[in-house]
């Protein structure tokens, strides 16, 4: 029988547990077709799927299905029966097979609520037994909170971070967000950043140890890093390992997708050969660590993240374009303000103390100011520090 005039569509279900498929034809179903649908329904339980016939529409409400068994049943019913338009059933099956989001359980495809988080019975008890973040449980961190002297608050400090951080009291900073120098030869104001890796990490970790000391109990340290894959140095793993060895809790990792495909075809390694192909990356990493506790205390009235922002940003892949104003600020490796905006709103409260020990031209401090956080920016370059101060003055002048 020829295909009847009509169409089919997958539409939103009346119930979240079901996917609804609707087929519309140009006539009423005949008795043989209605009987075939009834035979199929009697063969399979209605809590998995059921039909609804409404005029010239056939609707299938689908929650779970053994598709192979249904196909066999349809074949047995329709084979040789010229009174049945097989297109109706073929189209239903095609539409089912076209749905790519489903789970598998007991040989059945599970739709609708298939992706609900599986609940772990006695989850907290089992986590305690396993020893969640076991590597940080024996920390010696104090829960005492100290205030930073006013002469350091809302300031840009020029000098060596390791030295300047030693002047700050312990347990006084709420959140540290930074991106350390890449160490792969960019032209920073202070010269080429191409130290031997051991020297680089010795200095970086000396600064990070001071960062740990000044961070409050429950505070966060967030590090944006681009691994130097050309040197086969996975910096994000090395940094994560350092903080974990120093008893911080690894809270998570955000993939910052920069959508920057300019580099896509600039290096091939072993061209068209498995000898040594070179992998290219269009993303960077944002590593998040907590000191002492995963929970951070704060005034709920100082929360400024919206519900929509929260739902979007806890999905740990952020698509944010790279900074476009690096020429304006004469800096070779800036992160965009949107990246800072998300980090500060997601991991800190208004009026918190935000510190960047590699502040550069002041993106972290500028965004902190805009978001009503207190800030401290440190950089060794006098030129960059002056630029950071200028950005802060521009914010004040526009408010």
Confidence (pLDDT) at 12: 42
Measure the CA angle with vertex 20, ends 19 and 25; round to 5°.
155
What is the pLDDT, as a whole number, of residue 230?
A: 64
Let me know whether 101 and 160 are in one domain: no
Rounded to whole angstroms, how far apart are CA atoms 312 and 307? Answer: 9
The predicted pLDDT at position 117 comes to 55
Tell me the two tokens of residue 281. 């990356």
Looking at the fold, whether 89 and 173 belong to one and the same domain comes out as: no
Is 192 within the bounds of a domain? yes
pLDDT at 373: 97
Assess whether 35 and 179 both reside in one domain.
no
Say yes or no: 89 and 149 in one domain.
no
pLDDT tens, residue by residue, 307-325: 889 989 999 999 998 767 7
The answer for residues whose C-beta is within 8 angstroms of residue 185's C-beta and 6 or more apart is 192, 193, 194
pTM summary value = 0.68
Report the C-alpha gap between 395 and 361 in whole angstroms.
14
User: Does one domain contain both 106 and 197?
Assistant: no
Asked if the structure places residue 128 within a domain, the reply is: no
pLDDT at 286: 97
CB half-sphere exposure, 118, CA atoms < 13 A: 4
Residue 327 pLDDT greater than 70, yes or no: no
Q: What SS3 class is residue 297?
A: coil
Contacts 24+ apart (CB under 8 A), 183-188: 183/228, 184/228, 184/230, 184/231, 186/332, 186/333, 187/332, 188/331, 188/332, 188/333, 188/381
Residue 1 is assigned to a structural domain of this protein: no
Same domain? For 195 and 101 the reply is no
Average pLDDT score over the chain: 85
Picking from 88, 110, 132, the residue at the C-terminal end of a domain is: 110
Say what the pLDDT of residue 233 is: 84
> Does 137 reside within a domain?
no
Of residues 127 and 50, the one with the higher pLDDT is 50
- Angle at 106 (CA atoms; ends 126, 9), nearest 5 degrees: 110
**What would the pLDDT profile of 50-102 be if each residue is shown by its tens digit?**
999 887 889 989 888 999 999 999 999 998 899 999 999 999 999 998 887 78
Element (H or E) spanning 210, and its range? helix 197-214
By residue range, what is the domain housing residue 75?
A: 6-110
Question: In angstroms, rounded to a whole number, what is the distance separating the alpha carbons of residues 204 and 181?
Answer: 9
pLDDT band at 10 (very low <50, low <70, confident <90, very high): very low
Instruction: Judge whether 281 lies within some domain.
Output: yes
Residue 122, in any domain of the structure: no
> By three-state DSSP, how is residue 286 classified?
strand
pLDDT of 3 over the 80 cut: no
Domain boundary, last residue among 110, 136, 165: 110
- Within a domain: 129: no
Q: 73 and 168: one domain?
A: no
Q: What percent of the chain has pLDDT over 90?
A: 52
Please say if the pLDDT value at position 184 is more than 50: no
The contacts of residue 355 (CB under 8 Å, 6+ apart) are 173, 175, 176, 177, 178, 211, 214, 375, 376, 377, 378
Domain boundary among 110, 128, 157: 110
For residues 119 and 255, give the distance between their C-alpha atoms in angstroms, rounded to a whole number: 26
Q: How confident is the model at residue 258 (pLDDT cuts 50, 70, 90)?
A: confident
Burial of residue 176, with CB atoms counted within 10 A of its CB: 0-12 exposed, 13-18 middle, 19 or more buried: buried
The residues near 285 (Cβ < 8 Å, ≥ 6 apart) are 224, 225, 226, 227, 236, 253, 254, 255, 256
Q: Is residue 36 over pLDDT 80?
A: yes
Task: Measure the CA–CA gap between 134 and 128, rounded to whole angstroms.
Answer: 9
Please, which pLDDT band fits residue 123 given cuts at 50, 70 and 90? low
CA–centroid distance for 328 within its chain = 30
**In angstroms, rounded to a whole number, what is the distance separating the alpha carbons of residues 370 and 211?**
23
101 and 154 assigned to the same domain? no
Q: Is residue 331 part of a domain?
A: yes
**In the predicted structure, residue 302 carries a pLDDT above the cut 90:** yes
Element of type H or E holding 33: helix 31-43
Q: Cα-atom radius of gyration of the chain, to the nearest Å?
A: 30
**95-120 average pLDDT score:** 75
Q: pLDDT higher for 230 or 27? A: 27
* 227 shares its domain with 339: yes
Q: Supply the pLDDT for residue 186.
A: 45
End-to-end CA distance of the chain: 73
Based on the structure, what is the number of domains in the chain?
A: 2
Structure tokens at 39: 């035979």
- Same domain for 95 and 155, yes or no, is no
- What value does the mean pLDDT take over residues 360-373? 95
Instruction: Output the pLDDT for position 132.
Output: 85
Residue 244 and residue 322 in one domain: yes
Are 334 and 207 contained in the same domain?
A: yes
* Confidence label for 326 from pLDDT (cuts 50, 70 and 90): low
The enclosing domain of 230 has a CATH number of 3.40.50.150
């Amino acid at each position: 029988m020829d295909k009847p005039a009509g169409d089919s569509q997958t539409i939103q279900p009346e119930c979240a547990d079901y996917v609804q498929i609707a087929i519309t034809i140009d006539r009423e179903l005949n008795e043989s077709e209605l009987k075939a649908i009834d035979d199929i329904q009697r063969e399979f339980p209605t809590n998995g799927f059921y039909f609804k016939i409404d005029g010239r529409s056939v609707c299938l409400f689908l929650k779970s299905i053994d598709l192979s068994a249904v196909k066999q049943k349809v074949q047995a019913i329709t084979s040789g029966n010229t009174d049945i338009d097989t297109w109706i059933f073929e189209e239903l099956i095609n539409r089912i097979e076209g749905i790519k989001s489903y789970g598998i359980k007991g040989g059945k495809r599970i739709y609708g609520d298939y992706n609900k988080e599986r609940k772990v019975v006695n989850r907290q008890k089992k986590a305690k037994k396993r020893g969640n973040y076991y590597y940080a449980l024996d920390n010696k961190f104090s829960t005492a909170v100290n205030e930073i002297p006013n002469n350091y608050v809302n300031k840009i400090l020029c000098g060596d971070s390791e030295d300047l951080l030693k002047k700050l009291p312990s347990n006084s900073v709420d959140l540290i967000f930074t991106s350390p120098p890449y160490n792969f030869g960019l032209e920073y104001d202070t010269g080429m950043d191409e130290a031997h890796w051991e020297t680089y990490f010795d200095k970086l970790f000396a600064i990070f140890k001071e960062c740990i000391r000044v961070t409050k109990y429950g505070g966060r340290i967030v590090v944006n890093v681009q691994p130097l894959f050309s040197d086969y140095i996975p910096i994000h793993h090395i940094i994560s390992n350092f903080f974990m060895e120093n008893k911080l809790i690894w809270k998570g990792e955000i993939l910052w997708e920069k959508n920057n495909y300019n580099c896509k075809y600039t290096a091939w390694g072993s061209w068209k050969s498995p000898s040594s192909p070179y992998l290219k990356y269009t993303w960077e990493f944002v590593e998040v660590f907590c000191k002492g506790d995963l929970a951070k205390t704060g005034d709920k009235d100082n929360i400024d993240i919206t519900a929509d922002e929260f739902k979007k940003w806890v999905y740990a892949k952020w698509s944010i374009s790279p900074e476009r104003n690096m020429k304006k600020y004469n800096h070779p490796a800036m992160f965009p303000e949107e990246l800072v905006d998300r980090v500060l709103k997601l991991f800190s409260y208004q009026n918190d103390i935000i510190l960047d020990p590699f502040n550069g031209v002041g993106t972290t401090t500028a965004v902190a100011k805009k978001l009503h956080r207190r800030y401290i920016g440190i950089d060794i370059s006098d030129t960059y520090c002056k630029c950071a101060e200028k950005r802060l003055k521009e914010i004040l002048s526009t408010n």
